[in-house]
């Protein structure tokens, strides 16, 4: 299982190795060049335009072992070649992307047990609303967010703007998923847009928010943990629609490699 993709791509071992090398190069560029890294106020925050999506796709296209290699190698190579060396190498960050590449396969695989798309939307929506309420209450009940030995004071407009943007993104996630599901219904993709969105949601919560915040807590100090958690939740609302769209695009581009054209999940 760890050497095969979920989509049933007909690839030889040589093709998988070549694609792995290509994906490592592309993810490295997306994560280190075409990304927002090392923001002065929140240096632990990274907003990548496509890096995580390609790591997730590599896991379901090539297999979890390849996904792990691509996630870990792209972060290590990116640090030593492209990072400005503002801080030392952090293996905790590499672990996040290695786990992202490995577990994505199994999360998509487990979703075969859930056939009802309405259930997916209800679960996703309920957790999204819960996180939105939690973030809003935390921001309004805390005037300062702890960062290392100092604190960052939030203005009232920031406390209003952040939840408002999250609500807009939340609405966009559902409209996006439903419209895309209808648009590509006749294409018989191996994974439906709603399934992809739900899988990206679970991956984001488990890997990037829970595990990622824990690893960044070890790396940057647990006194910064609440601020890291809030930032990861906010970024999650951006990542899910972005990752969903990119994975749909990648599945469509590679459709000719799949054994079966009918939707499986």
* Top-confidence range, 8-22, 31-45, 82-96: 8-22
Phi, psi of 84 (to 5 degrees): -75, 5
Cβ–Cβ under 8 Å, residues 229 and 213: yes
Structural domains of the chain in order of their starting residue, each with its CATH number: 13-257 (1.10.1760.20)
Specify the pLDDT at position 23: 97
Rounded to whole angstroms, how far apart are CA atoms 25 and 70? 9
More confident call, 37 vs 96: 96
Rounded to whole angstroms, how far apart are CA atoms 180 and 174? 10
Cβ–Cβ under 8 Å, residues 18 and 214: no
The strand pairing partners of 36, in sequence order, are: 47
* pTM of structure: 0.90
**Mean pLDDT, residues 18-33:** 94
Cβ–Cβ under 8 Å, residues 93 and 217: no
More confident call, 12 vs 72: 72
pLDDT tens profile 182-223: 777 767 778 888 889 899 999 999 999 999 999 999 988 888
**Mean pLDDT, residues 137-149:** 77
Specify the pLDDT at position 51: 93
Write out the H or E segment, with its range, that includes residue 4.
none
pLDDT tens profile 95-125: 999 999 999 999 999 987 777 888 888 898 8
pLDDT tens profile 48-84: 888 999 999 999 999 999 999 999 999 999 989 877 6
pLDDT tens profile 217-264: 998 888 888 888 888 988 888 898 889 889 999 998 998 887 654 444
Cβ–Cβ under 8 Å, residues 132 and 122: no
């Amino acid at each position: 299982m760890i050497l095969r993709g979920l989509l049933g791509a007909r690839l030889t071992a040589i093709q998988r190795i070549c694609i792995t090398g290509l994906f490592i190069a592309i993810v490295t560029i997306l994560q280190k060049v075409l990304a927002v890294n090392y923001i002065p106020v929140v240096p632990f925050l990274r907003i990548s335009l496509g890096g995580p999506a390609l790591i997730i796709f590599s896991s379901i296209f090539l297999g979890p072992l390849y996904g792990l290699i691509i996630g870990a190698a792209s972060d290590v190579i990116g640090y030593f070649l492209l990072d400005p060396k503002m801080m030392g190498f952090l293996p905790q960050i590499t672990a996040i992307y290695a786990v992202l590449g490995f577990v994505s396969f199994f999360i998509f695989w487990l979703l075969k047990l859930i056939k009802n798309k309405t259930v997916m939307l209800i679960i996703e929506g309920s957790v999204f609303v819960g996180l939105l309420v939690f973030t809003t209450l935390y921001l309004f009940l805390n005037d300062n967010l702890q960062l290392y030995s100092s604190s960052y004071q939030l203005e009232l407009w920031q406390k209003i703007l952040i939840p408002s943007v999250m609500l807009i993104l939340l609405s966009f996630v559902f409209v996006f998923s439903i419209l895309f599901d209808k648009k590509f219904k006749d294409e018989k993709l191996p994974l439906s847009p709603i399934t992809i969105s739900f899988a990206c949601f679970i991956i984001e919560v488990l890997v990037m928010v829970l595990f990622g915040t824990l690893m960044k807590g070890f790396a940057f100090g647990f006194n910064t943990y609440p601020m890291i958690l809030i930032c990861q939740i906010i970024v999650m609302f951006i990542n899910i629609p972005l990752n969903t769209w990119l994975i749909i695009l990648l599945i469509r581009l590679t459709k000719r490699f799949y054994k079966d054209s009918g939707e499986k999940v």
